[in-house]
Amino acid sequence: MSKKMAASVYQPALHILLKPINNAQGEQITSVSLRMINASEHRKVVEDHTDDSDLLYRQLIKVGSGLTDDELKQIIMPDYNTLLDLVEEHYGQNSRYWFSKAGVEIADSVEELTLLHPLSALKVIKLTFPTLAVIDVMNSYDTTEQDMFIKMSCTGLGVKELDALSVSDSKMLDAKVTDFLSQTASFFSKKMTEKN
């Protein structure tokens, strides 16, 4: 197993612009760096731009890079297309993708999620299986609130902590919770046996 630490696995993307742009002070910008945004930032952008994918991607670029509207509008299409690709990769992939890309092995644990972006001292999220009673409570919530409720139930984390997860860690948590809700006991028994 690789000895790299999870915190060093992900590196923000850096794109060197084919054609530099200028900021409001007239200074030249020659590159754009795209950082990993958190689950709350991502959800807000998606909710605010559900009807227009072009505006959605532009806003994701702005949030991830810190570019202003005026700066973004100066970008030529080849540079913009590269930024679109980076947005797709950064905010469309779960944390397993980034660990794999960096050649870092992580345990394929049923009940643990190794965070790509640790939250201060929290590096691993321990998951617990929801009971049928928990699912009944979840189903009583509005559809938009069910996702947050079940993630809180399975992790013991609060809304603020779940919102602070990176998009990639949040997507990986979604996948784990989906397994909890859709797989049979034999699936998990096999996973636990393979782990031991």
Please calculate the CA angle 111-117-122 and round it to the nearest 5 degrees: 55
The amino acid at 9: V
129: left (phi over 0), alpha (psi -120 to 50) or beta: beta
pTM metric for this prediction: 0.85
Tokens of 124: 């691993």
Tokens of 24: 């409001």
* Nearest-angstrom CA–CA distance, 171 and 169: 5
* Nearest-angstrom CA–CA distance, 46 and 102: 28
* Nearest-angstrom CA–CA distance, 64 and 38: 10
Tokens of 155: 């992790």
Alpha helices (H) in 9-119, listed in sequence order: 39-48, 53-65, 69-73, 77-92, 95-101
> Cα 156 to chain center, whole Å?
19
* Cβ pair 127, 154 in contact under 8 A: yes
Tokens 């997860």 found at: 165
The amino acid at 3: K
In tens digits, the chain (196 residues) has pLDDT values of: 333 444 468 889 999 999 999 999 999 999 999 999 999 999 999 999 988 889 999 999 999 999 999 999 999 999 999 999 999 999 999 999 999 998 998 877 778 899 999 988 899 999 998 899 999 999 999 987 999 999 999 999 999 999 999 999 999 999 988 887 887 877 776 665 555 5
